[in-house]
């Protein structure tokens, strides 16, 4: 089996919208630090390649119900700085929004973290399409939105120039001659683009990894092109195996056409495994999480402002082709009800059966709530034992669908503990994960070479250390 990249996309209160409501789940962001340290320790013991921290630059009551993990969260750069001090080998990837950030302080912070962590930092560069984020930064969304991808390209170019400000052997510290810097080892890195400007050079030494691994995500043609041209990791949400194979092939082709070695672009898919000692245990957890999800109909006088309209019987009616208005969300879906559904409804019934074990006509039939949840929770979910989940990973890897996975946890910390204690050893047994870390830096974990500086020159011959 080909070695896959396995990272964890960390959401401190869990990635499933109702996960924080599950008994024993972490639900108070004031105590995130302890959960983050536990997650880092478990991930490193399991020899995962990295921890990945996303970001969102605004908050609101709508997020409380749609994506509660976004309501209140610690800044990603602060998070990886903290975790770098309590880990030794695992990579740490933070997100920065290039639409509003200044490249000089980002280059300075990321180079510093890479040096302090021994080369374990990575950077996920995103662009924002949220008007609230623009307001929080005092800019006009209508002005910045049309050019955010152009700015993203310039932002990355500036970062790479700034990281190359010093040669790797710039510091000679020759006490006898009084020379601290090798001649010509500090470079002019000035950049004046249409959207980004920086005089440089950076006042931090070149990162241990040369350049931090750059991550890009997004499904738009422009975001995929940017990822193909320069990213090290491309995060791609795929609907199924065939779709994943197609997207990876397209990204690799774009990378090759841009003039780079397409093998250096690693395509990573998010996945949310729900893990149990037995398949029935896993399905029971998935079932309980579905029942903890609130729908529009749960409020007799109407849901709170901003509640997702997709979590309703009205939305389900449109999908299945049957008017369900006035019915209870907890009405059982019997065979006579299910046979009225169109193709999309039949597919939802199959998804619910796979995830929860509930089937129309069975001893535990699904309810309308289960179908609404299956349609509304937009996540690639795998429910089963360690062997089930590892087998699915293996299938995708062997099919050339992905180079690795970003693992989400429905409930924290229990489901992450289940993944690291049950699934990770099975992945090691199958050769998907190595039995021990094989490198020191994040680049080495990802199978990437260290880039040469854009200002590469012969080593300073007169250096005396």
Give me the average pLDDT of each 10-residue run along the chain (465 residues): 92 97 97 97 98 96 93 97 98 97 97 98 94 93 93 96 97 96 95 93 98 94 95 93 95 96 96 98 98 95 92 96 94 95 96 96 96 92 98 96 98 98 98 96 97 74 34
pLDDT (0 to 100) of residue 460: 39
The number of C-alpha atoms within 13 Å of 62 and in the hemisphere containing its C-beta is 7
Task: Please name which of 116, 122, 154 lies closest in space to residue 54, comparing C-alpha atoms.
Answer: 122
pLDDT (0 to 100) of residue 40: 98
- Tell me whether residue 149 is annotated as binding: yes
Q: What is the CATH number of the domain that holds 107?
A: 3.20.20.30
C-alpha 213, offset from chain centre: 14
3-state secondary structure of 192: strand
Based on the domain organization, do 111 and 224 belong to the same domain? yes
Based on the domain organization, do 450 and 323 belong to the same domain? no
CB atoms within 10 A of CB 162: 25
Q: Which residue, 376, 398, 433, sits at the end of a domain?
A: 376
Q: Which residue, 376, 400, 422, sits at the end of a domain?
A: 376
Based on the domain organization, do 17 and 155 belong to the same domain? yes
Based on the domain organization, do 91 and 235 belong to the same domain? yes
Q: Torsion-angle region of residue 270: left (phi > 0), alpha (psi -120 to 50) or beta?
A: beta
Based on the domain organization, do 409 and 367 belong to the same domain? no
Angle between helices 103-117 and 148-163 (to 10 degrees): 50
> What is the pTM assigned to this prediction?
0.95
Q: How many domains does the chain have?
A: 2
358 within some domain = yes
pLDDT (0 to 100) of residue 461: 38
pLDDT (0 to 100) of residue 128: 85
Based on the domain organization, do 259 and 167 belong to the same domain? yes
321 within some domain = yes
287 within some domain = no
Based on the domain organization, do 206 and 242 belong to the same domain? yes
How does DSSP classify residue 422? I
Secondary structure (DSSP) of 46-91: TT-SEEEE---S---HHHHHH-GGGTS---HHHHHHHHHTT-SS-E
CA distance linking residue 388 with residue 219, whole number of Å = 28
Cα dihedral: 309, 374, 222, 233 (round 10)? 130
278 within some domain = no
Cα dihedral: 383, 385, 387, 391 (round 10)? 0
3-state secondary structure of 10: coil
Based on the domain organization, do 203 and 74 belong to the same domain? yes
- Tell me whether residue 22 is annotated as binding: no
CA distance linking residue 250 with residue 238, whole number of Å = 13
Secondary structure (DSSP) of 407-426: E--SSTTHHHHHIIIIIHHH
- Tell me whether residue 217 is annotated as binding: no
CA distance linking residue 385 with residue 393, whole number of Å = 13
- Tell me whether residue 95 is annotated as binding: yes
Based on the domain organization, do 355 and 333 belong to the same domain? yes
283 within some domain = no
Based on the domain organization, do 204 and 352 belong to the same domain? no
Q: Which two tokens stand for residue 144?
A: 């910045």
Based on the domain organization, do 252 and 112 belong to the same domain? yes
Q: How many residues does the chain have?
A: 465
CA distance linking residue 18 with residue 292, whole number of Å = 6
pLDDT (0 to 100) of residue 219: 84
Residue 449: exposed, middle, or buried by beta-carbon count in 10 A (0-12, 13-18, 19+)?
Answer: exposed
Q: Torsion-angle region of residue 170: left (phi > 0), alpha (psi -120 to 50) or beta?
A: alpha
Helices (H), 118-146: 131-136, 141-144
pLDDT (0 to 100) of residue 464: 31
Secondary structure (DSSP) of 333-363: --HHHHTT--HHHHHHHHHHHHHH---TTSS
Q: Angle at CA 339, nearest 5°, toward 335 and 344?
A: 120
Question: Which domain covers residue 352, as residue numbers?
Answer: 294-376
Q: Which two tokens stand for residue 41?
A: 């320790």
pLDDT (0 to 100) of residue 218: 85
Based on the domain organization, do 32 and 180 belong to the same domain? yes
């Amino acid at each position: 089996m080909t070695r896959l990249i396995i990272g964890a996309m960390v959401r401190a209160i869990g990635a499933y919208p109702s996960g924080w409501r599950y008994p024993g789940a972490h639900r108070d962001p004031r105590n995130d630090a302890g959960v983050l340290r536990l997650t880092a320790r478990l991930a490193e013991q399991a020899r995962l390649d990295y921890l990945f921290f996303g970001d969102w630059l605004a908050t609101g009551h709508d997020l409380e119900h749609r994506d509660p993990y976004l309501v209140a969260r610690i800044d990603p750069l602060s998070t990886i700085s903290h975790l770098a001090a309590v880990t030794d080998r695992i990579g740490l990837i933070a997100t920065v929004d290039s639409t509003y950030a200044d490249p000089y302080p980002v280059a300075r912070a990321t180079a510093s973290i890479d040096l302090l962590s021994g080369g374990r930092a990575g950077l996920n560069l995103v662009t924002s399409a949220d008007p609230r984020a623009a307001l929080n930064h005092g800019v006009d969304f209508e002005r910045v939105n049309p050019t955010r991808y152009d700015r993203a390209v310039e932002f990355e170019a500036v970062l790479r120039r700034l990281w190359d400000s010093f040669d790797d052997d710039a510091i000679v510290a020759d006490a006898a001659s009084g020379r601290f810097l090798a001649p010509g080892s500090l470079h002019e890195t000035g950049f004046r683009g249409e959207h980004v400007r920086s005089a440089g050079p950076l006042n931090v030494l070149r990162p241990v990894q040369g350049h931090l691994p750059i991550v890009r995500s997004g499904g738009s043609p422009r975001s995929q092109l940017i990822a193909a041209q320069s990213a090290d990791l491309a995060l791609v949400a795929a609907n199924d195996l065939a779709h994943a194979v197609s997207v990876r092939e397209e990204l690799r082709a774009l990378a090759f056409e841009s003039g780079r070695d397409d093998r250096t672009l690693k395509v990573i898919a998010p996945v949310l495994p729900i893990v149990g000692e037995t398949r029935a245990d896993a399905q029971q957890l998935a079932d309980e999480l579905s029942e903890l999800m609130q729908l529009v109909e749960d409020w007799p006088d109407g849901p709170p402002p901003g509640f997702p309209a997709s979590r309703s019987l009205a939305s389900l009616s449109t999908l299945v082709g049957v008017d369900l208005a006035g019915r209870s969300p907890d009405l059982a879906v019997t065979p006579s009800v299910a046979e009225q559904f169109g193709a999309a409804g039949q597919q939802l019934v199959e998804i619910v059966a796979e995830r929860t074990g509930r089937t129309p006509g069975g001893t535990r039939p699904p309810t309308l709530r289960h179908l609404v949840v299956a349609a509304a929770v937009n996540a690639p979910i795998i429910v089963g034992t360690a062997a089930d989940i590892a087998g699915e990973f293996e299938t995708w890897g062997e099919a050339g669908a992905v180079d690795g996975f970003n693992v989400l946890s429905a409930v924290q910390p229990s489901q992450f503990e289940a993944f690291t204690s049950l699934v990770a050893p099975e992945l090691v047994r199958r050769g998907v994960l190595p039995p021990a870390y094989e490198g020191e830096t994040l680049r080495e974990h990802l199978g990437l070479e260290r880039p040469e500086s854009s200002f590469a020159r012969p080593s300073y011959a007169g250096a005396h250390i």
